[in-house]
């Protein structure tokens, strides 16, 4: 099966700072993969490399069957990869609905449209004409997920989606991520909340010092959580 996303022996930099050291990962259709590790190991740099925001000096990134030699921010969405960025990045001068419509700018057709996003997140419909940045943190995260889904992606890349959120919102998002995955969208979940990882992901990749140092299946049990948490401490 051809991977939707494949990184092979990637070395990425910010200026002279060498962040990713021969990193490799892949996500195929329908997969639910978690990328875990403590702060500072390079997880967000993986996202920034995919988006062309970090400089890749060696290795290869492929979207589907196409290897991309010069990555640019618009390319991932064009090839069916949608990102929910760390920090949400809600556009301040746009309403909730305008932020959602921004997600559909690539013109990809598929399951997700504004009515389906409102069914998924009823609070967004209630606040459709409110400035996006006037929402609570949890509501802004729902908006960021909804906006990403409006691109009708084959792969949804979630960068620390539960950071700073109350446990009840985390539970709601876990249910949403599973629903989205059940409908056929692959997930790459970058997360430090191991209980969320255990509820959503089927396999994990653990990072340390810019490289993958462990991988395996996710077991939703106390022993499974202990195993995942041990890799975050590497």
Q: Please tell me the predicted confidence (pLDDT) of residue 210.
A: 95
Q: Please tell me the predicted confidence (pLDDT) of residue 73.
A: 83
Structural domain includes residue 90: no
CB count within 10 Å of CB 164 equals 11
Structural domain includes residue 7: yes
**Could you give the 3-state DSSP secondary structure of residue 118?**
helix
CB count within 10 Å of CB 178 equals 14
Categorize the per-residue pLDDT at 225 as very low, low, confident or very high, splitting at 50, 70 and 90: low
Contact 234, 37 (CB under 8 A): yes
Residue burial 79-94, b: 16+ Cβ < 10 Å; e: rest: bbbbbbbbebebeeee
Using CA atoms, how far apart are residues 226 and 147, in angstroms rounded to an integer? 34
Task: Quote the DSSP letter at residue 21.
Answer: E
Residue 224 confidence (pLDDT) above 70 = no
Residue 229 confidence (pLDDT) above 80 = no
Residue 4 confidence (pLDDT) above 60 = yes
Residue 204 confidence (pLDDT) above 70 = yes
Contact 203, 168 (CB under 8 A): no
Q: Please tell me the predicted confidence (pLDDT) of residue 226.
A: 67
Q: Please tell me the predicted confidence (pLDDT) of residue 223.
A: 57
Question: In terms of pLDDT, which residue wins out, 94 or 107?
Answer: 94
Structural domain includes residue 104: no
**What's the whole-number mean pLDDT along residues 136-140?**
92
Structural domain includes residue 31: yes
Structural domain includes residue 61: yes
Q: Please tell me the predicted confidence (pLDDT) of residue 19.
A: 97
Task: Quote the DSSP letter at residue 197.
Answer: H
**What's the whole-number mean pLDDT along residues 197-220?**
92
The percentage of the chain sitting over the pLDDT mark of 90, rounded to a whole number, equals 74
Structural domain includes residue 16: yes
Structural domain includes residue 223: yes
**What's the whole-number mean pLDDT along residues 189-198?**
92
Q: Please tell me the predicted confidence (pLDDT) of residue 2.
A: 77
Structural domain includes residue 85: no
Q: Please tell me the predicted confidence (pLDDT) of residue 129.
A: 96
Q: Residues 24-78: pLDDT tens digits?
A: 999 999 999 999 999 899 999 999 999 999 999 999 999 998 888 788 888 898 8
Average pLDDT over the chain, rounded to an integer: 91
Residue 7 confidence (pLDDT) above 80 = yes
Q: Please tell me the predicted confidence (pLDDT) of residue 234.
A: 56
Categorize the per-residue pLDDT at 106 as very low, low, confident or very high, splitting at 50, 70 and 90: confident
Q: Please tell me the predicted confidence (pLDDT) of residue 107.
A: 80
**Could you give the 3-state DSSP secondary structure of residue 39?**
coil
- Domain span at residue 231 reads 1-79+201-234
Number of domains in the chain: 1
Q: What is the CATH number of the domain that holds 64?
A: 3.40.50.300
Using CA atoms, how far apart are residues 103 and 148, in angstroms rounded to an integer? 6
The percentage of the chain sitting over the pLDDT mark of 70, rounded to a whole number, equals 94
**What's the whole-number mean pLDDT along residues 91-116?**
91
């Amino acid at each position: 099966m051809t991977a939707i996303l494949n990184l092979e022996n990637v070395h990425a930099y910010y200026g002279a700072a060498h962040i990713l050291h021969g990193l490799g990962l892949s996500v195929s259709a329908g997969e639910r993969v978690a990328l875990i590790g403590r702060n500072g190991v390079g997880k967000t740099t993986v996202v920034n490399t995919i988006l062309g925001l970090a400089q890749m000096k060696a290795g290869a990134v492929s979207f589907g069957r196409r290897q991309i030699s010069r990555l640019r921010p618009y390319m991932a969405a064009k090839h069916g990869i949608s990102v929910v960025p760390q920090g949400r990045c809600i556009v301040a001068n746009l309403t909730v609905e305008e932020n959602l419509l921004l997600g559909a700018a690539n013109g990809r057709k598929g399951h997700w449209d504004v009515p389906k996003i409102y069914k998924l997140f009823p609070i967004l419909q209630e606040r459709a004409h409110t400035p996006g940045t006037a929402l609570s943190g949890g509501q802004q995260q729902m908006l960021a997920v909804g906006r990403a889904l409006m691109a009708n992606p084959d792969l949804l890349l979630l960068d620390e989606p539960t950071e700073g959120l109350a446990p009840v919102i985390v539970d709601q998002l876990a249910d949403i991520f599973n629903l989205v995955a059940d409908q056929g969208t692959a997930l790459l979940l970058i997360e430090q909340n191991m209980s969320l990882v255990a509820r959503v992901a089927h396999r994990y990749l653990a990072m340390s010092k810019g490289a993958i140092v462990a991988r395996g299946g996710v077991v939703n049990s106390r022993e499974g959580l202990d195993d995942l948490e041990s890799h975050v401490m590497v």
